[in-house]
Amino acid sequence: MICRGVSVLGLKSARRSLGLLLGLGLALSAMPAKAQYSSDTFVAVLEGIGYSIEPGATLDSYSVRQAIQSIQQEANLPVTGRLDSYTEVYTENNVKLIQRQLNQVLGLNLPSDQPFYGPLTRNGITQFQRTYGLAPTGIADMPTRQVLQQAVSRVAIIPTKTGMGGDNPNRKDLYTDMEFRLILQGLGYDIDLGRPLTDRPAVLALLDFQRQYGLTRSGTADPTTQNTARSILRQLQENLRQVVDRNLYVTENYDRQTISMLKTFQAKYNLTIDGIATLEVRQRLQAMARR
């Protein structure tokens, strides 16, 4: 009975992508004897991963038991609607995986050994959703987790192979001031390319960018801010490759090829032809790439 309940190898193919998101390498034999979550923290996790839970719900509430049943079905566990140690560890690994993936894709420093869905995880998901053209809800629902998994796969590939399969000659740890000014301008900020990033308009742009993506508002192009911008550029160029031209190289810079491909996209879909990747343009492009 236990062997059948803990096996995840027999999941149907329709659930395999979810299995990846929840971590198929789960060591179920090492599960704790009793639950680690309190009622409140587990309900917060359920809400964080996309289940609709009514205010003030407890582990005995109907919506919570329905959510637990859904998790147990996904994990091929005995469906009881009750929080047991197997269901708990499966859920814990789900949250930890989300945190690790956010760190990998956005360059964050979330504590990936914590199984709780708190403000840091919510802010990280919101930042990811804004970066990848999703509704910024802060909820790691299934569509968000699927896009996050895809982003992780691309991050693993892009540093060595991009575009048509050649090496990425422009990959760096940090952008130069000019490269980052070009990115800010390309994302729609009014930046004087002849002025430094310490110029007042540039600082205001950086503060607004950091606010939008839930970053520490330093007003400087610090590494976390640069990693977020790099993720935005990578996703933008991947989407342009898919929608406009497969020959486009993923350089993670706001360069001439990116501007040219954006103008082609804007012309095709009756948008303002300026080569600027505003949030509206990026969301439209993301929607077309996902079709």
pLDDT in tens, 256-268: 889 999 999 999 9
Place of tokens 């804007």: 266
What's the pLDDT tens digit per position in 118-143? 999 999 999 999 888 889 999 999 89
Flag whether pLDDT at 169 surpasses 50.
no
Contact 106, 128 (CB under 8 A): yes
Spatial neighbors of 143 by CB under 8 A, at least 6 apart, are: 134
pLDDT value for 133: 85
Is the pTM here over 0.75, yes or no? no
pLDDT value for 173: 67
Flag whether pLDDT at 33 surpasses 70.
no
Alpha-carbon span 186 to 43, nearest angstrom = 41
Count other C-beta atoms under 10 Å from residue 290's C-beta.
Answer: 15
What is the DSSP code (8-state) at residue 274?
A: S
Q: Categorize the per-residue pLDDT at 156 as very low, low, confident or very high, splitting at 50, 70 and 90.
A: low
The arithmetic mean of pLDDT across residues 164-182, rounded, is 65
Sign of the dihedral defined by the CA atoms of residues 130, 131, 134, 138, in that order: negative
Q: What percent of the chain has pLDDT over 70?
A: 81
Alpha-carbon span 69 to 150, nearest angstrom = 27
pLDDT value for 106: 86
pLDDT value for 248: 82
What's the pLDDT tens digit per position in 82-100? 999 989 988 998 898 899 8
- DSSP string across 192-260: -TTS-TTSHHHHHHHHHHHHHTT----SS--HHHHHHHHHHHHHHHHHHHHHT-TT----SS--HHHHH
Which tokens go with 133?
Answer: 């053209």
pLDDT value for 247: 81
The average confidence (pLDDT) of the chain is 81
Q: Counting every residue, how long is the chain? A: 291
pLDDT value for 35: 46
Sign of the dihedral defined by the CA atoms of residues 148, 152, 154, 155, in that order: positive
Ordered by start, the domain boundaries in the chain are: 2-156, 163-289
Flag whether pLDDT at 26 surpasses 50.
no
CA distances (Å), 25 to each of 8, 9, 19, 59, 96, in order? 9, 10, 10, 27, 13
Flag whether pLDDT at 159 surpasses 80.
no
What's the pLDDT tens digit per position in 180-230? 999 999 999 998 888 889 999 999 999 999 998 888 899 999 998 999 999
pLDDT value for 4: 36
The arithmetic mean of pLDDT across residues 138-164, rounded, is 70
Q: What percent of the chain has pLDDT over 90?
A: 46
pLDDT value for 170: 42
pLDDT value for 165: 35
pLDDT value for 189: 94
pLDDT value for 291: 79
Flag whether pLDDT at 9 surpasses 80.
no
Contact 35, 83 (CB under 8 A): yes
Q: Categorize the per-residue pLDDT at 167 as very low, low, confident or very high, splitting at 50, 70 and 90.
A: very low
